[in-house]
Amino acid sequence: MITLYDYELSGNCYKLRLLMGMLGVEWKTVPVDFYPGREHKSDWFLKINPLGQLPVIDDDGLVLRDAQAILVYLASKYDASGTWYPRDNPALLGEISQWLAFADGITGTASAARLHDALFYDFDVEAARAGAHRLFRILDEHLWFGEQEGRNWICSASQPTIADIACFPYIMLSEEGGIPRQDYPAIRRWCDRVKRLKGFSVMSGVFPAGPAKAA
């Protein structure tokens, strides 16, 4: 069984819980007191991940760090449908990889602003917010053009991929860092579609989809 070293309020940990729930994968959790305990910098945790970062998984002795890397692993090993990370489609894998890198940019901006506001981290919050808005504008435009072509997801596949899972959490949590989403209608519609996926789960600050609108 997978062991997830987890902080309940971490968007990066949440994206793993989200995908594992959608895949029907069982896991057990080892809570790590990120704040205020800073347990991710403790001696015992640094032996697991010398970078002192969450999340980490241990799958029968295979220890992996980095949320995006773990998404690739989980989808490759546990997705029987092969749609979340389609290994037989090089072009789509390239698309997914570029959006996984984009998700890291969201973490470095929207998540940083949230850490500043909620956990009092000493970041340049205005620069973080400006960087997040720049990325949100790019994604909103990308999603809008995709909708005009009949696409619902970040990549060109007809099904969601781990790119959607990677980008979703810190966009949904952005208002906790002073980054409103009202100017990004395509992002808001995409978030609603993610929330309606089978197996979707919530975390603090991420709520279920509202009632479906009548046709």
Q: What is the pLDDT of residues 22-69, one digit of tens each?
A: 999 999 999 999 989 899 999 999 999 999 999 999 999 999 999 999
Are residue 96 and residue 158 in the same domain, yes or no?
A: yes
**202, part of any domain:** no
Give the structural domain span for 17: 2-78
Q: How confident is the model at residue 214 (pLDDT cuts 50, 70, 90)?
A: low
Q: How many C-beta atoms lie closer than 10 Å to residue 66's C-beta?
A: 18
pTM score, whole prediction: 0.96
Are residue 129 and residue 49 in the same domain, yes or no?
A: no
CA angle 143, 144, 150 (to 5 degrees): 85
Would you say residue 110 has pLDDT above 70?
Answer: yes
Q: How many C-beta atoms lie closer than 10 Å to residue 125's C-beta?
A: 18
Rounded to whole angstroms, how far apart are CA atoms 35 and 117?
13
**150, part of any domain:** yes
**101, part of any domain:** yes
Are residue 97 and residue 181 in the same domain, yes or no?
A: yes
Long-range contacts of 88-95 (CB under 8 A, 24+ apart): 89/157, 92/155, 92/156, 92/157, 92/161, 95/155, 95/156, 95/163
**84, part of any domain:** no
Rounded to whole angstroms, how far apart are CA atoms 9 and 118?
11
Q: Which helix (H) or strand (E) holds 31?
A: strand 27-31
CATH number, position 100:
1.20.1050.10
Q: Are 136 and 184 in contact (CB under 8 A)?
A: yes
pLDDT tens-digit profile of 149-186? 999 999 999 999 999 999 999 999 999 999 999 999 99
**211, part of any domain:** no
CATH number, position 58:
3.40.30.10
**How many domains, in total, are found in the chain?**
2
Which class for 65: exposed (0-12), middle (13-18), buried (19 or more C-beta within 10 A)?
A: middle
Are residue 9 and residue 60 in the same domain, yes or no?
A: yes
Mean pLDDT of 85-114: 97
Q: According to the model, what pLDDT value does residue 213 have? A: 67
Please identify, among 49, 78, 107, the residue that sits at the C-terminal boundary of a domain.
78
Are residue 190 and residue 101 in the same domain, yes or no?
A: yes
Of residues 144, 95, 81, the one with CA closest to residue 152? 144
Give the helix ranges, DSSP H, for the chain: 11-23, 43-48, 67-78, 90-106, 112-119, 125-148, 162-172, 185-195
Are residue 164 and residue 106 in the same domain, yes or no?
A: yes
Are residue 39 and residue 95 in the same domain, yes or no?
A: no
**214, part of any domain:** no
**42, part of any domain:** yes
**19, part of any domain:** yes
Q: Are 108 and 115 in contact (CB under 8 A)?
A: no
Are residue 68 and residue 8 in the same domain, yes or no?
A: yes
Are residue 95 and residue 191 in the same domain, yes or no?
A: yes
Are residue 109 and residue 176 in the same domain, yes or no?
A: yes
